Amino acid sequence: MSSSEHSLKDYLPILSMAGLILIVQILALLLSMPMEINDMQAFEDPTQVSNSIYYIGMILVFTLLVLIAIKKNMKWVISLFIYLAIVSTLYYVFFALFTMIPALAGLENITSLLLSTGLTVLLYKYPEWYVIDLLGICIAGGVSALIGISLSIVPVVVLLILLAIYDAISVYKTKHMIAMAEGVMDLKLPILFIIPKHSNYSFITESFDEGEKREAFFMGLGDAVMPTLLVVSANVFLENGGLSYPVLGAMIGTLVGHIFLSVLVMRGKPQAGLPFLNSGAIIGFFIGVLLSGASIF
C-alpha cells in the first residue's frame, strides 16, 4: 500500500464524521422553519440568558442520574428514558417534515406517531450501526432545530461556552464523562455515531470489555448537536436569514474544529470534543458577522 493510500485510509473516519456533522446541520436548518411555524419552541422568551443556565442544569441532573443508575446496575432505567426520548424526538422531526407535504394535511399526527414508533421498535430489535447512525442523524437534527429556534444568538453563545468548559472539566479533571460514556455504550442506543473500521463490522456483536480493541470510531451525538445550535439560531434570529455569512461561518467553523479535534484523537490523545467544536462554531460565526455586517443585538 502506498503512503498516500495509507494516509487516505487513516483520515477517512475524520471525513466521514465531518460528513455526519454536516448532514445534521443541513437537516436542522431544514427542520427549523416548520418547527418555528408550528410553535415548537422550548422557551417562551428566546432572548433570556437564564434559559442557557436552565439547560446546563438539566444536563447536570441528567448526568448525575445516569451515573447513579450505572453504579446501582440499573441501566434499564437509562434505556427506558432514552427510548421514550427517541420516540418523542422522532415524532417532532417527522411532524415538522410532514407539515411541509400538502398530501399529508390532517394526517401528520398519526403518520408521525406510527413512523417514530416503528423506527424505535426497529432499533430495539436490530441495533446495527447503520440503524443507529440513521436515527442518530434524525435525533441530532431534531434536537438541534428544537433548541436552536428556542435560543437567540447571545444565549446560544453563552451556552456553548459553558458547555465547552463543562466538557473539558468532565473529561480532563473529574473524568466522569468518560465513565458515563463507557457505562452506556453497551446499551446500543443512538447516543453516538459509529464509523466502522472494516466492511464486515457489526455493532450488535461489538464487545465493550475493558482493554479490548475497538473495531469502530465513535462520536457522541452531543458533538454534532451543540455547535449546530448556533447554526440554527443564526439562521432564525439574524435579520438577513438564509444561508448568510454567519450561518455558513458557524458551519465551516464547526468542521474546522472537528478536523483539529480528530487529528489529535488519531494521534492517540483522547480529547474533549466541545472545546474544539464549539470554539470553531463561535469563531466562524463571528467571522461571518464581520463579513456580513450583521447585528446580533
The rounded distance, in Å, linking the Cα atoms of 22 and 146 is 17
The three cell numbers locating residue 6: 495509507
Provide the H-helix boundaries in 46-107: 50-71, 75-98
Per-residue pLDDT of 191-224, as tens digits, reads 899 999 888 889 888 877 666 677 888 888 999 9
Three-state SS for 218?
Answer: strand
193 backbone dihedrals φ, ψ, rounded to 5°: -100, 150
Per-residue pLDDT of 125-182, as tens digits, reads 999 999 999 999 999 999 999 999 999 999 999 999 999 999 999 888 888 777 777 7
Does 4 have pLDDT greater than 90? no
pLDDT at 1: 41
Nearest to 25 by CA among 134, 142, 195: 142
- Judge contact between 227 and 247, C-beta under 8 A: no
The stretch 83-105 carries a mean pLDDT of 92
What is the percent of the chain where pLDDT is above 90? 56
The rounded distance, in Å, linking the Cα atoms of 27 and 64 is 30
As a whole number, the mean pLDDT across the chain is: 88
pLDDT at 297: 67
Q: Find the range with the poorest average confidence among 109-113, 160-164, 201-205, 254-258.
A: 201-205
Residues 6 or more apart in contact with residue 75 via CB below 8 angstroms:
69, 183, 184, 187
Reported confidence tier of residue 66, pLDDT bands at 50, 70, 90: confident
Provide the H-helix boundaries in the chain: 3-37, 50-71, 75-98, 108-125, 129-148, 153-168, 176-184, 221-237, 245-266, 274-292
- Judge contact between 157 and 230, C-beta under 8 A: yes
User: Hey, where are the domains in the chain?
Assistant: 8-292
pLDDT at 188: 83
The stretch 261-271 carries a mean pLDDT of 78
pLDDT at 241: 55
Does 47 have pLDDT greater than 70? yes
Reported confidence tier of residue 3, pLDDT bands at 50, 70, 90: very low
pLDDT at 210: 64
Query: How many beta carbons lie within 10 A of that of residue 41, not counting itself?
Result: 17
What is the percent of the chain where pLDDT is above 70? 93
pLDDT: which is higher, 199 or 7: 199
pLDDT at 90: 96
Per-residue pLDDT of 28-38, as tens digits, reads 999 999 999 99
pLDDT: which is higher, 223 or 241: 223
Nearest to 30 by CA among 259, 239, 231: 231
Given the C-alpha cell 427517541, which residue does it identify? 86
The three cell numbers locating residue 202: 457489526
The rounded distance, in Å, linking the Cα atoms of 203 and 209 is 14
pLDDT: which is higher, 174 or 112: 112
What is the CB-side half-sphere exposure of residue 185 using CA atoms within 13 A? Answer: 22
pLDDT at 8: 62
Does 282 have pLDDT greater than 90? yes
Long-range residue pairs from 177-181, CB within 8 A, at least 24 positions apart, any chain:
177/63, 177/272, 178/270, 179/67, 179/70, 180/63, 180/66, 180/67, 180/70, 181/220
Q: Find the range with the poorest average confidence among 115-124, 127-136, 183-192.
A: 183-192
Does 242 have pLDDT greater than 90? no
